[in-house]
Amino acid sequence: MKRLFAIALLGLALAGSAYANTVNMNFVGTGSNAAQGFYTYPYYFSVDGKSTALMCDSYDNEITVGESWTAKATPLVSGQGMFGNALDYKAAGIIFLGVMHGNINPVTGNLAVWNLFTPGATTDASALALENGVLILAHRWPDSEYRGLTLYTAVGASPGAGPQEFIGYQTPASTPEPGSLLLLSTGLIGIANAYKRRIK
C-alpha cells in the first residue's frame, strides 16, 4: 500500500512539473523601432534558450541588454499580470496580435499598450485612438481568441521597479500533451485506489 501511494505521488509530481510555468529570460536586444526616446516592439529575448520577440507593457520600468531574470509564463487572460485589469490585458493582446500579423504599426501599437497600463504614457493621437478602439473590441472577443498569447511576469518584480512585463505568443498545442495527462491521471487513480484500500 505504501508503495502504491508513493507511485501515485510520483505521478502527480511529474505531471505537475510538465505544467511548470517558470521560465528563464535573457534580454538579447531590440529592433530599430523607437518613440519618445525609448525602444518599442520588438524586444528580442532568449526564453529558456528559445529566441522570441516580445512586447513590453510597462512604460516605467527599464532593462538593459544582457540582463536575465526568472518569470512566470501564463496565458494572457489568466489574470496574473502586474498591471491593469483583465480588459486592459485583452486589449493589449488584440494590439499585439495586430502588430505580430503586420496589421498595426509596431510603434503605435506599443505606445497604445503602454498607455493602457500607464495612463498618460503617450499623447500620440494614433496610439490613443487605437487604445480606445481595441478596448471596445476586447469586450466582445471570447477568451478563445487569445489562445497562445502569453504573459511573462518577472518573479518578485513590482510595478515601477525591476524587469518589465512582456507579452508574447506561443503556438498552442493542438491537443493536450498525452504524457502529461497520463501522468496526472495515473497519479489521481493511484491516490484514489490507495484511499479506497485504506478505508476497507
| pLDDT tier, 125 (very low <50, low <70, confident <90, very high otherwise) | very high
pLDDT at 190: 52
Paired with 24 in beta bridges are 70
Q: Is residue 171 a contact partner of residue 96, using CB atoms and an 8 Å limit?
A: no
Q: Cβ distance 152 to 71 under 8 Å?
A: yes
Quote the pLDDT of residue 1: 52
What average pLDDT is seen over the chain?
83
Q: How far apart are CA 2 and CA 25, in angstroms?
A: 40
Helices (H), the chain: 2-18, 86-100, 106-117, 125-140, 178-199
Give the C-alpha separation, 56 to 31, whole Å: 13
Domain presence at residue 12: no
pLDDT band at 200 (very low <50, low <70, confident <90, very high): low
Q: What is the extent of the structural domain holding 132?
A: 23-171
Length of the chain: 200
Mean pLDDT score, 149-163:
87
| pLDDT confidence band for 4 (50 / 70 / 90) | very low
CB atoms under 10 Å from CB of 194, counted, come to: 19
Given a cut of 70, is residue 44 above it in pLDDT? yes
Which is higher by pLDDT, 81 or 24? Answer: 24
- Identify the residue with better confidence: 19 or 65: 65
| In contact, 48 and 177? CB cutoff 8 Å | no
Q: Give the integer Cα–Cα distance in Å for 21 and 73.
A: 5
Does residue 50 sit within a domain? yes
Identify whether 197 is part of a domain: no
> Which of the residue ranges 7-16, 27-36, 117-126 would you say has the lowest mean pLDDT?
7-16
Q: Is residue 176 included in any domain, yes or no?
A: no
13 falls within a domain:
no
Please check whether residue 195 lies inside any domain of the structure. no
pLDDT, residue 141, reads: 94
Asked whether the predicted pLDDT for residue 165 surpasses 70, the reply is yes
Average pLDDT on 54-71 reads 92
What integer is the mean pLDDT of 17-31?
80
pLDDT (0 to 100) of residue 174: 56
In a domain, 2, yes or no: no
Count of domains observed in the chain: 1
Instruction: Please state the rounded mean pLDDT for residues 73-91.
Output: 91
| 10 — pLDDT class (breaks 50, 70, 90) | very low
Is the separation of the CB atoms in 4 and 10 below 8 Å?
A: no
pLDDT of residue 199: 55
Do the domain assignments include residue 189?
Answer: no
Query: pLDDT grade, residue 6 (50/70/90)?
Result: very low
3-state secondary structure of 65: coil
Tell me: pLDDT of 182 over 80: no
